[in-house]
Each structure stands twice: as C-alpha cells, then as structure tokens.
Amino acid sequence: MTASNVYPTAELQALDSAHYLHPFTDFGALAKEGSRVMVKGDGVWLTDSDGNRYLDGMAGLWCTNVGHGRAEIAEAAHEQMLELAYYNSFFKTSNAPAIRLADKLASIAPAHIERVFFCGSGSEANDTVFRMVRHYWAIKGEPAKQHFISRRNGYHGSTVAAASLGGMKPMHGQGGLIPGISHIPQPYWFGEGGDMSPAEFGLWAARELEREIERIGEENVAAFIAEPIQGAGGVIIPPETYWPEIKRICARHEILLVVDEVICGFGRTGSWFGADTYDVQADLQPIAKGLTSGYLPMGGVMVSGKVASVLDQGGEFYHGYTYSGHPTCAAAALANLAIIERENLVARVRDDIGPYLQSRWAKLGDHPLVGEARMKGLMGALELVPAKPSRSEKFADEGKVGTIARDLSFKNGLIMRAVRDSLILSPPLTLSHDEADQLVALAEKTLNDTWMVLKKDGLVK
Ligand SMILES: *Cc1c(COP(=O)(O)O)cnc(C)c1O
C-alpha cells in the first residue's frame, strides 16, 4: 500500500508535537508516538504523508457526507471569496449566501421549522440553544424555567454549556459542568438494558424523562435535549419504543424539545433529519457537520415558528458570533446541499446503500468477538465482548481492546473509531456498493486480527 513518500513525515511529526495541541488528545502520549499526517482526500479515500490509503469510515468526523475532494464546493467558496469573502450579520446587515441558505434550510426542514440562527460549529450551536431557550422562557414570563434535562453519555460539544449539556463524565471533571442541568439514563440497551427486552427498556429509559421533570418540577424545566442517535457516545440506536414515548411525554409537559441534529442531520439516518426518521417535532434543531460536509466550519440552530414568534417579542437577543452567517461558509453549504439533492443522497441512504451496508454489517455479528452489530442509516457500531453471548461480561481495563482493534483497523486501511470496547462507523453517504464490500472485508479482517492478538494475550478463550 505504500507509495512514494513525498512529504517529510518525520519533520512534520516533530513540528506537530513541538507546537500543535490536538483536540481530545493525551499530548504527552501523542508526542512519543507521532501523529498520522493526512495529505489528500478523494471520495471515500484518504492518503497519509507516507502514501498509505485509507477508506474513511468516519466521514472525517461524522461530517464529510458528500465525500472528499468535491471541486464544486471549492469553486463555490472561491467565487464567493472573490465577490465578498466576509461580512457580518450584525447592525441590520445581511448577505446573499446566508439568506439563500436560511431559505434552503427552511425548505428541507420539517414544515414547523421556519428560521435559523447561524454560528461556526456544533458546540456554538448548543451554547446558542442554552441561551436562546432560557431567553424564550423569560420572554414568556416564566423566568424560573431555566433547567435543562439531557442524557448521560450524550454529546453536544466542547464549549462550557455544550460540555455541560453533554453527559460525558470525563469532560465534566475538567471544568465542564455548570449548574442547572441534570442527566438521565441513555437508551443504550446493549450496555444497560439488563434483563429487560429492548422494547421494555426503551420505554423505561424514556420515562426517566418524566420522572426527572417531576423531580425538578415542571415549572423549573426549560428543555430536554437529545441526539436522535447518540454518535460520539458509541452509535447508540434507541429501541423503537423510545422516541414515541419521549414525544408523548413532551406533549404532556410544557417544556421545549431540542433535537441535536449535528450528526444525524443531512441524510445520515436516511431522512434529511434524524427527527424525521423518528417522527418527532423538535422546537429547536442544532446543526453543523454535514451542513457543509466539513469543507468549511459552520453550524446553526434551526428554530420552529412557535419559538421564533416568541423571540420576536423579546427585544434584542444579546448573542451572536463574528462569523454568524459567514458568506463563504454559506456558499460552501449551499454547494454541499446541492450535491446532496442532485445525487439523491438522502433517499440513497434510505433505500439503497443504507440497506446494502446494513445487511453486510449485520453478518459481522456472527464473529466470535462481536456481541452486537447494529446500524441505522449509515451509522453503525460493533460491540466487542469477551464472552459472547453475555452482554454483562466486559473486558477488563475498558477501552483497551477497542483501541487495539481501532489501531489494527487503521493498519488495515479502514478508519473506524473506538468508543469504550466498540468500533463505530459513519462513512460518506456517497459510498459505492463496491466500496461497501471493501469496507466490510476490511472490518472482518480487523476483527480476525484483533481476535488473534487477544488470544495471544489470553484476553479471550
Ligand atoms: C460533533 C457534535 C457536536 C459539536 O460540534 P463541533 O462542531 O465539534 O463543535 C454537537 N453535537 C453533536 C451531536 C455532535 O456530534
């Protein structure tokens, strides 16, 4: 697989460890190991500075929905930069790409979603949610409604409010937990379902929301926030009973429902939005990632007519970003959405490549190391277990086996990510059938290689 080495990898790695602090990284450990330097992307393929090729099973970081190297997005950004690279949307000003994008988003969103507040990322989107929701209740004359309910092991970003809304304990431990937020159990049947059936467990997990509303007092609860399918938490696909019950509970109580579409939006689950897939109507939908397929950073909060009409009564909302509605990013987003529409990628995930990859992925569940192989749309996970079919027996030193498998997958030329002792997948929506076959073959080889290592180390029988 190694082609000619055109980049001085060792030099880049030395500079990298000397000066570049990476996100979610053990700086000391990476400095010893050296980073992998990516130099080229084309379709679902990536090439590193040593000429190794990888099938990008994570679509960058859940975002490159249209695949790498799309010239028309680059051209749209180029043209916009020459015309008007940047202007802000403060002081009663606006710009054509942001206006067109807001209109486009309103047209693809569920009918009750009418407007959008732009920002630079998913984290900023959720910080915006935090302030916008509290502002909403204050305008409505219910300033006590300040409390957010979210879920353990949910992910909503890395800024202070987003990390606090998220349910990642290690993040909370590093200065990332502000008051006024509580976390209920996640609908993770494989890991936490105990003796319940998936259907029973889905109902139980959803009813935790109702119990929490009662505990906090409905008069104090502002909103519930959740991802349709948890991504960073390990592709947690809720049982079919979960979202209908959440919907029932939200209809019975006067709280806002925030559906975090940062990963599930823009086709990932086989609909434009995850809320469409699960037939729920969000009051607010934070978006990012697939909005531009990662070509430029951009996020937003899509807002229902009900919420927007209240915000209209509230005077100035003291909130915004220098890059809110960035014209070049908006132009890239429009070009990206045009590709998704022209190539029918949403329907393709629902009717074609989705079912095709799902059926092959499910067969990996026969492997002795795999306790569960699950996938919805084009996001999936393989739960690695030491003693199939037990769901409760886990590997000692959680995360070690996942990391071994992840590293072997990279070595085999398939990028998957490890969460605890599972491998997760979220490839570009442009994945061809032939590439799906290659992906599954590489995943199977990775499982076999992992099995051999674990056998040698006595970690499986
Ligand atoms: C990635 C992610 C975010 C944060 O987005 P950034 O662009 O990394 O700030 C928020 N919510 C979900 C569901 C995500 O997956």
Instruction: Report the separation in Å between the CA atom of 262 and the middle of ligand 1, taken as the mean of its atom positions.
Output: 6
Predicted pLDDT of residue 459: 86
Q: Helices marked H in 295-326 — which ranges?
A: 305-311
Q: Which atom of ligand 1 is nearest to the CA of 126?
A: 10
CA of 10 to the centre of ligand 1 (A): 32
Q: Which atom of ligand 1 is nearest to the CA of 231?
A: 15
What is the position in ligand 1's atom list of the atom closest to the CA of 227? 13
Same fold, 36-66+346-456 and 72-342: no
For position 460, what pLDDT does the model report? 85
Distance 268 CA to ligand 1 centre (A): 14
Q: Tell me, what's the pLDDT at 2?
A: 46
Closest ligand 1 atom to Cα of 123? 9
Q: Which fold is adopted by the domain 36-66+346-456?
A: Aspartate Aminotransferase, domain 1 (3.90.1150)
d(CA 175, ligand 1 centre) in Å? 18
Task: Indicate the pLDDT class of residue 207, thresholds 50, 70 and 90.
Answer: very high
Alpha-carbon span 9 to 45, nearest angstrom: 19
Instruction: Tell me the CATH number of domain 72-342, given options 3.40.640.10, 3.40.50.2300, 3.30.470.20, 3.40.190.10.
Output: 3.40.640.10
The per-residue DSSP string of 56-115 comes to: -TTHHHHT-TT-B--HHHHHHHHHHHHHHS---S-TT---HHHHHHHHHHHHHS-TTEEE
Q: What does the alpha-carbon distance between residue 202 and residue 415 come to, in Å, rounded to a whole number? A: 31
Checking if the pLDDT of 1 tops 80, the result is: no
- The strands making up 45-48's β-sheet, listed across from edge to edge, are 38-42, 45-48, 53-55
**What is the model's pLDDT at position 458?**
87
Which ligand 1 atom lies nearest to the CA of residue 122? 5
| Distance from C-alpha of 248 to C-alpha of 56, rounded to nearest angstrom | 38
3-state secondary structure at position 380: strand
Query: Mutate which of 155, 262, 292 to test ligand 1's pocket (most atoms within 8 Å of Cβ)?
Result: 262
Atom of ligand 1 nearest to the CA of 154: 13
Nearest CA to ligand 1 atom 11: 156
pLDDT tens for each residue of 166-193: 999 999 999 889 999 999 999 999 999 9
Ligand 1 pocket test, candidate residues 62, 119, 121, 129, most atoms within 8 A of CB? 121
Pocket test for ligand 1, best of 289, 291, 296 (most atoms within 8 A of CB): 289
Write down the mean pLDDT value for the chain. Answer: 96
What is the pTM assigned to this prediction? 0.97
d(CA 52, CA 410): 10
Per residue in 230-258, pLDDT tens? 999 999 999 999 999 999 999 999 999 99
Q: How confident is the model at residue 6 (pLDDT cuts 50, 70, 90)?
A: low
Pocket of ligand 1 (CB under 6 A): 62, 121-123, 126, 155-157, 227, 231-232, 260, 262-263, 288, 299
CA distances from residue 89 to 85, 104, 118, 212, 320 in whole angstroms, order as listed: 13, 18, 10, 39, 9
Q: Which of 186, 263, 301 for mutating ligand 1's site (highest number of atoms within 8 Å of CB)? A: 263
| CA atoms of 165 and 231, how far apart (whole Å) | 15
Res 81: pLDDT: 98
HSE of 33, CA atoms in CB hemisphere, 13 A: 10
| Cα(261) to centroid(ligand 1), Å | 9
Q: Identify whether the C-beta of residue 119 lies closer than 8 Å to the C-beta of residue 300.
A: yes
State in Å: Cα 188 to ligand 1 middle: 20
**Ligand 1 centroid vs 326 CA: distance in angstroms?**
19
What local confidence, expressed as pLDDT, does residue 175 receive?
86
* pLDDT exceeds cutoff 50 at 322: yes
Q: Which of 156, 227, 258 to mutate to test the pocket of ligand 1 (most atoms within 8 A of CB)?
A: 156
CA of 449 to the centre of ligand 1 (A): 32
pLDDT tens per residue, range 371-428: 999 999 999 999 999 999 999 999 999 999 999 999 999 999 999 999 999 999 999 9
Q: How far is the CA of 22 from the centre of ligand 1 (A)?
A: 16
**For residue 116, how far is its CA from the centre of ligand 1 (angstroms)?**
17
Distance 158 CA to ligand 1 centre (A): 8
Q: In which residue are the tokens 């949910």 written? A: 154
Span 422-459, pLDDT tens digits = 999 999 999 999 999 999 999 999 999 999 999 999 88
Q: Confirm if 156 and 233 have CB atoms less than 8 A apart.
A: no
pLDDT band per the 50, 70, 90 thresholds, residue 5: low
By mean pLDDT, which of 7-11, 32-36, 265-269, 353-357 is the weakest? 7-11
The pLDDT of residue 123 is above 70:
yes
The residues spanned by each domain of the chain are 36-66+346-456, 72-342
